[in-house]
Amino acid sequence: MEQDLATLAATVAELQEKAGGLGSTFSETFYYLTIPLMVLIHAGFLAYEMGASRSKNALASGIKNILAFAMIVPFFYLIGWWIYWAFPTGLDLSAGPAGISGLEYANSVAAPWSEYMGPNLSDRSSGVFWGAFVLFAATTASILSGALIERITLTGFVVLATILGAFVWILAAAWGWHADGWLVTKWGYHDFGAAGVVHMIAGFFTLGVVINLGPRIGKFNPDGTPNAIPGHSMPMTLVGLMLIIAGFWGFLMGCVIVPGEAWSWSGTMTASIYGTPMTLSGMTFNTLMGMSGGIIGAWMITRDPFWMMSGALGGIISCAAGIDLWYPPMAFVIGFVGAAAMPFVSSFVERRGIDDAVGAVAVHGFLGMWGLLAVGIAAQGYPAMAGENVIETSFMGQLVGAVIMGLLGFVPGYVASWVLKAMGQLRVPPEAELLGLDKTKVPASAYPEALHPTVTPAE
């Protein structure tokens, strides 16, 4: 009998070891797949912004996106990842209730010299989980990029994108997108799909920048009325927006804690980043319903294909904060309402003399805020964290979170761009803007055949 029990115990231990290995493999693969999917976001932004630019600026718009992406990666490796684990409880750098934050913890898992920041075969999830967060950081820079096309210097943009992607957004994530984050533990802040910590932060950072950058030449008449400045390729812009939406699936995958992840506190279940239960099934229902509601809402208001596709993105952003919670028809309604309001917000911003070339403030800043408040309105009382006797989500908590995200985005964006403006590094000279940034800054031509007259064969 004792021998049989010993054999059974050995068999169980072996199965548990194999299950643990399988869980680690699944976790590693899951986060690894988020990375190429999120790269589609940047392929989308590349096409979207080049299409939204006039042909004389198409390549310059693309170059700043590519270079910002490349600059954010090393800065995020050196400091951004460390910020996420060091600052969730605030500036005292102490560990929070979940025990996965603070100075000591950050140094152990996220300092560049840490064993977890290299090819550590005993922890196969750290690198790919870091990679997913790098792509979130790059997304904030791409959100900023579109609003500034056709007049910002390359140096100025790269500096601003690096500040936003490697420092500002990840501090917001530490506060509101971490189980030890003080907005979560003290206010019950809930932001599953990063409506606040990515979209709202980037949207309000962008608002601070465009105020100092100023409008494109010819955007406003002497009486202040705006002129439309259409891009050179609406089809390219629409395809780019659809690629962003495809990449959004990887973005939302990166918001999930899956079984086997190295520092998971969620046991065997799929969970939100707060450890609260969620399912990929629910996320799928609500992503598609929010997207559809956004398309229909924007189309009914504008009949404009640009706003229709922006509405698809806006519908998802509207639902993102609570996309793990919504009943699917509610996700449709939230996406519809947000996208229907979006063009009015963009017009409101424009009437104040602000030239946001692609409506980033409305799509990301306003709808990120709407997504946070929607959780406060419709999901009050939901546990904000895993465990017993924990704080619950409330409207006040979501409102406080929205205010913090707005200020944390706007103030650094305004101050950093003001400093660059004072140094003469924010905006290109008027002559270069009128001639086109491709001709003055890029040693290539987007459409070289257009530079030569058509040659017809001699008869």
Rounded mean pLDDT, 332-342: 98
CA-based R_g, the chain, Å? 23
The 10s digit of each residue's pLDDT in 116-158 is 998 876 676 788 889 889 999 999 999 999 999 999 999 999 9
**Residue 222: pLDDT over 90:** yes
Query: What pLDDT is stored for residue 94 in this prediction?
Result: 86
Residue bearing the bigger pLDDT, 394 or 458 = 394
Rounded mean pLDDT, 232-242: 94
Q: Is 90 left (phi over 0), alpha (psi -120 to 50) or beta?
A: left
Query: What pLDDT is stored for residue 436 in this prediction?
Result: 94
Query: What pLDDT is stored for residue 64 in this prediction?
Result: 92
| Total-model pTM | 0.91
Rounded mean pLDDT, 323-336: 97
Question: What distance, in Å, lies between the first and last C-alpha atoms of the chain?
Answer: 102
| CATH H-level superfamily of 26-256+273-444 | Ammonium transporter AmtB like domains (1.10.3430.10)
Which element (helix H / strand E) includes 272?
A: strand 271-272
Cβ atoms of residues 293 and 326 within 8 Å: no
C-alpha to C-alpha distance for 38 and 205, rounded to whole angstroms: 21
CA-based max dimension of the chain: 102
Rounded mean pLDDT, 92-96: 86
- Tokens 């003055």 label which residue? 440
Tokens of 192: 């599953």
Query: What pLDDT is stored for residue 150 in this prediction?
Result: 96
Q: Hey, is 257 helix, strand or coil?
A: strand
Q: Hey, is 328 helix, strand or coil?
A: helix
Query: What pLDDT is stored for residue 188 in this prediction?
Result: 96
Query: What pLDDT is stored for residue 260 in this prediction?
Result: 57
Tokens of 13: 């231990």
Cβ atoms of residues 245 and 48 within 8 Å: no
**Cα distances (angstroms) measured from residue 65 to each of 153, 157, 223:** 12, 9, 34
Query: What pLDDT is stored for residue 10 in this prediction?
Result: 55
Query: What pLDDT is stored for residue 386 in this prediction?
Result: 83
Amino acid letter, 102:
G
**Residue 451: pLDDT over 70:** no
**Residue 192: pLDDT over 90:** yes
Band the pLDDT of 446: cuts 50, 70, 90: confident
Each domain of the chain, given as residue ranges in start order, spans: 26-256+273-444
**Residue 109: pLDDT over 70:** yes
Cβ atoms of residues 142 and 41 within 8 Å: yes
Half-sphere exposure of 237 (CA within 13 A, CB side): 23
Cβ atoms of residues 300 and 164 within 8 Å: no
Which element (helix H / strand E) includes 271?
A: strand 271-272
Environment class of residue 413 by beta-carbon count within 10 Å: exposed (0-12), middle (13-18) or buried (19+)? Answer: buried
Q: How many CB atoms lie within 10 A of CB 422?
A: 10
Rounded mean pLDDT, 330-344: 97
**Residue 49: pLDDT over 90:** yes
Query: What pLDDT is stored for residue 259 in this prediction?
Result: 67
Which element (helix H / strand E) includes 256?
A: strand 256-257
Angle, CA of 410, 94 and 386, to the nearest 5° = 80
Rounded mean pLDDT, 421-438: 96
- Tokens 């404009």 label which residue? 304
Query: What pLDDT is stored for residue 132 in this prediction?
Result: 87
**Residue 198: pLDDT over 60:** yes
Query: What pLDDT is stored for residue 12 in this prediction?
Result: 46
The sign of the CA dihedral 412, 309, 234, 39 is positive
> Lowest-confidence range among 83-92, 235-244, 252-261, 294-303?
252-261
Query: What pLDDT is stored for residue 3 in this prediction?
Result: 62
Q: How many CB atoms lie within 10 A of CB 305?
A: 15
Band the pLDDT of 264: cuts 50, 70, 90: very low
Query: What pLDDT is stored for residue 125 in this prediction?
Result: 73
The 10s digit of each residue's pLDDT in 363-418 is 999 999 999 999 999 999 999 988 888 899 999 999 999 999 999 999 999 999 99
Strand partners, 349: none
Q: How many residues in total does the chain contain?
A: 459
Angle, CA of 354, 357 and 360, to the nearest 5° = 85
Which residues 6+ apart lie within 8 Å of 181 measured at CB? 88, 89, 96, 174, 175, 189
Residue bearing the bigger pLDDT, 281 or 257 = 281
328-351 helix and 367-378 helix, angle to the nearest 10 degrees: 140
**What is the percent of the chain where pLDDT is above 90?**
72
